[in-house]
Structure 1
Amino acid sequence: MDPRIKYLIKEIFKKAKEESGQTSVYACCKHLENRFREDFKCHEGTSSRSFARLHQKYVEESQRENSTPKPGLLDAMSQYLGYSDYRSFLLEDKPISFNGFINRLTKISVSERTLIGILILIICLMLSYTIFMNNPSGPPPPECMIWKITHFEIISCELSFNIDKAGEIIGFDEKLYENMKMIPKSEVRVGSSYYYKVDRDSLQFFSWYGLHPVNGEDLKPVTNYIMDKYIGNQ
């Protein structure tokens, strides 16, 4: 007896029971006869009596016959289970569809589902431990940045590495990092540049709005008046 054909036939009877809602072999055989003849246009070997003999031979194992289902019937039975043909059934070997998996899962008892959940949790913890052991230093610390005279530079957030700069380190801000620069007078433009008045006659110019990167005071937009007074024709 070919175990692959045995498995195939057991599966079609299992599906027939689920579809028909019947438990008797006779009712399942009638259901399969209708399905195979109407939906798969397969008439040879698909009478209810033929399916009953297949059940006796392959499921009950109460009848010995030398004959096996013909290729056309094997293809139709495979298609009934969701395969394109018998060859696909042999190659893929015992698939479980998503709906079939859900149906089987719902039939599992609460205690069994709890056990499965615990096993999955243990596996996840083991994988996490393995990953951590392969990388004992852990993930890299989040980036921070610090103002360096005219621009921001990336620096480690680990204070133990930069204890002398503890009060100057801030969290990484991509917009500030990319856009905030102290610029020379030659690059100052009305409408896109900002200034900070250091003293009566001295200004610092920046390429981005917001707060001064060192003292946190407000930056002001450069106006035509500021341009004329502090930059002029330089």
Structure 2
Amino acid sequence: MEIEKDELIQELIELVFVKAIKASKKTKAYGISRYLEDVLNEKIKERTLTRYYDGYILDKKSERRTPSEHNLNILSQYLGYENYRKFQQSREYEIVKNELRKEIISINNKLNKIKRISLFVCLFLLTISLLYISKYYKKDCMVWVGDHYEKVRCSNLVNERELDEFVLREYKKVYVVKDYVLYKNTEPTILYTGHNNSADFFTSDDIHPIFRGVYTNPIIKNPIRPKQKLLGFIKINSSE
């Protein structure tokens, strides 16, 4: 990348005087220029250097004079370059390097932005997917299996019903035999349903899992009727 000549000369003279000020500890144009004249072995006179200071450092347009090629080479050598051309190449290289660095930073920033956006999109999609899966596969229903309820995903199965945690946990079908304890502290331990001249026994109160509209009833203790007659009365399906 080629730098404008005036811009490059401005930079050269600024660097020369910054170096001279640091080395000489001088603060006035004359003192700094006298110092440079001595350091440069009078290859550039104090008066010329003062005009450079006024024109380029103090930005006095009337005093600004473009240095000759000879003076540009001398000033470049003061900064450690072989000549003005080498100084120019060095500065152009630095500018190109800085531009490349800026471009790389810009590209990295764009890539990081894309990565952040991609990560956000992935997290968003993952969240939506998890919500969908959790909702779709959430076991909000239960179905009767053998002698108990099991949790299932709601899908309109036969005898499927809305999940009831208490019923799921407490409602079980039991098979009563002659020695089964029907009462505990005068309270019935099981309930029954009567249907089609038959009976089923359950550990908790609820609707029959198969026959809709059939509800459980407590086995009421009758001191007059013996246990065997009671069991026969409700027609137990025994597993004896």
TM-score grouping bracket, smaller chain normalisation: 0.3 to 0.5
Q: Greater CA radius of gyration, 1 or 2?
A: 2
Q: Taking structure 1 as the reference length, what is the TM-score of the superposition?
A: 0.36
Q: What TM-score results when the alignment is normalised by the length of structure 2?
A: 0.35
